[in-house]
């Protein structure tokens, strides 16, 4: 099975991901699947900023990033969190190689439109796929921290969902899997909260308008909508703590919430 997929692991769930999750990753790799991981770490960044007494706030889901904040973001994401994931993959029998978007100029970025307000936050302009492919071809799982860089050497803090979407688009993978702390996109139907098996771009817009999708789910669905406009067929949002979820998401689908162009276009 020669198949690649991009998996975004959210900071909300990283510490809770159990060994069986990483064992599934190893088994998928042994079966010939090539995973690429892009990770977040928002809660760990916030904790470190607090312990250092550096104020931090979010504007529309993006962290206001001064130079001091940027140093901490890089230290926590490209340092502690990245190496923790690499270590867990190693302990469960596979091999990973960690890097940030700065390494080899992997993720090129430019300031977001409202950078005057939120500082060094970036949008991705280019992803150097050959670096990722080189790592995969050596038999390692690339583990990428979402820091970007521009031609002048300026670093940028990039939302991890946005970075993962850009990597998935550049690699042209069929599926991006977003691992978070909820089992999918939820909606209250007849007074009961249910996980939606699939949602279309149109339905996402309505759910953001109505407030049913809010907070940290917004960058996820925005990144998903952006990458399914291109080669990526669907984005699947799942919880990483459910047993067998990763294998199902990669091989057959039918788990979590699939974000699809249209229902007809759904790959099942």
Ligand X SMILES: CC(=O)N[C@@H](CCC(=O)OP(=O)(O)O)C(=O)O
Contacts of 190 (CB under 8 A, 6+ apart): none
DSSP structural state of residue 115: H
Positive or negative torsion for Cα 139, 145, 253, 89: positive
Euclidean distance between CA atoms 210 and 208, whole angstroms: 5
Look at residue 198 and give the partner it binds from ligand X, ligand ADP, none, a contact being a CB closer than 5 to 8 Å depending on partner kind.
Answer: none
Q: Which is nearer to ligand X, 48 or 92 (CB)?
A: 48
Question: Is 32 annotated as ligand-binding?
Answer: no
118 belongs to the binding site for ligand ADP (CB under 6 A):
no
Q: Which is nearer to ligand ADP, 131 or 179 (CB)?
A: 179
81 belongs to the binding site for ligand X (CB under 6 A):
no
Q: Kindly indicate which of the ranges 19-27, 29-37, 96-104, 177-185 contains the residues binding ligand ADP, using the contact rule CB under 6 A.
A: 177-185
100 belongs to the binding site for ligand ADP (CB under 6 A):
no
242 belongs to the binding site for ligand ADP (CB under 6 A):
no
Please report how close the Cβ of residue 56 comes to ligand X at its closest, in angstroms: 8
Vertex 254: Cα angle to 240 and 14 (nearest 5):
10
Q: Which residue is nearest to ligand X (CB)?
A: 40
10 belongs to the binding site for ligand ADP (CB under 6 A):
yes
Euclidean distance between CA atoms 240 and 203, whole angstroms: 24
**Site map 170..209 versus ligand X, x via CB under 6 A:** ----------------------------------------
185 belongs to the binding site for ligand ADP (CB under 6 A):
yes
180 belongs to the binding site for ligand ADP (CB under 6 A):
yes
Helix (H) or strand (E) holding 111: strand 107-111
Q: Kindly indicate which of the ranges 155-163, 166-174, 193-201, 248-256 contains the residues binding ligand X, using the contact rule CB under 6 A.
A: 155-163
Euclidean distance between CA atoms 15 and 122, whole angstroms: 26
Backbone dihedral angles phi then psi of residue 263, each to the nearest 5 degrees: -60, -35
**Interactions with ligand X, residue window 37-66 (CB under 6 A):** 40-42, 45, 62-63
Q: Which long-range contacts (CB under 8 A, 24 or more apart) does 197-200 make?
A: 197/254, 197/257, 197/258, 198/257, 198/258, 198/259, 198/260, 198/263, 198/266, 199/257, 199/258, 199/259, 199/260, 200/259, 200/260, 200/261, 200/262, 200/263
Let me know: does 159 contact 123? Beta carbons within 8 Å: no
**Site map 8..37 versus ligand X, x via CB under 6 A:** --xxx-------------------------
Question: Is 42 annotated as ligand-binding?
Answer: yes
The footprint of ligand ADP (CB under 6 A) covers 10-13, 40, 42, 180-182, 185-186, 212-217
Annotation: binding site for substrate: 41-42, 63, 157
């Amino acid at each position: 099975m020669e198949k690649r997929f991009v998996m975004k692991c959210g900071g909300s769930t990283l510490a809770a991901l159990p060994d069986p999750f990483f064992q599934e990753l190893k088994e998928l790799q042994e079966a010939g699947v090539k995973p690429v991981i892009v990770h977040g770490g928002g809660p760990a960044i916030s904790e470190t900023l607090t312990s250092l007494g550096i104020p931090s706030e979010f504007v529309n889901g993006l962290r206001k990033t001064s130079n001091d904040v940027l140093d901490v973001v890089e230290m926590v994401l490209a340092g502690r969190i990245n190496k923790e994931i690499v270590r867990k993959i190693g302990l469960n029998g596979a091999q990973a190689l960690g890097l940030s978007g700065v390494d080899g100029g992997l993720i090129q970025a430019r300031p977001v439109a409202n950078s005057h307000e939120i500082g060094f936050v970036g949008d991705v302009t280019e992803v150097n796929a050959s670096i990722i492919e080189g790592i995969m071809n050596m038999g390692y799982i690339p583990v990428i921290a979402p820091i970007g860089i521009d031609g002048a050497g300026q670093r940028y803090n990039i939302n991890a969902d946005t970075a993962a979407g850009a990597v998935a688009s550049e690699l042209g993978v069929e599926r991006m899997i977003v691992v978070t702390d909820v089992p999918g996109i939820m909606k209250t139907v007849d007074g009961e909260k249910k996980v939606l098996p699939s949602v279309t771009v149109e339905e996402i817009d309505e759910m953001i308008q109505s407030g049913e999708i809010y907070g940290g789910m917004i960058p996820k669905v925005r990144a998903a909508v952006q990458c399914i406009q291109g080669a990526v067929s669907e984005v699947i949002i799942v919880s990483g703590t459910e047993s067998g979820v990763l294998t199902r998401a990669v091989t057959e689908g039918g788990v979590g919430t699939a974000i699809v162009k249209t229902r007809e276009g759904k790959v099942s």
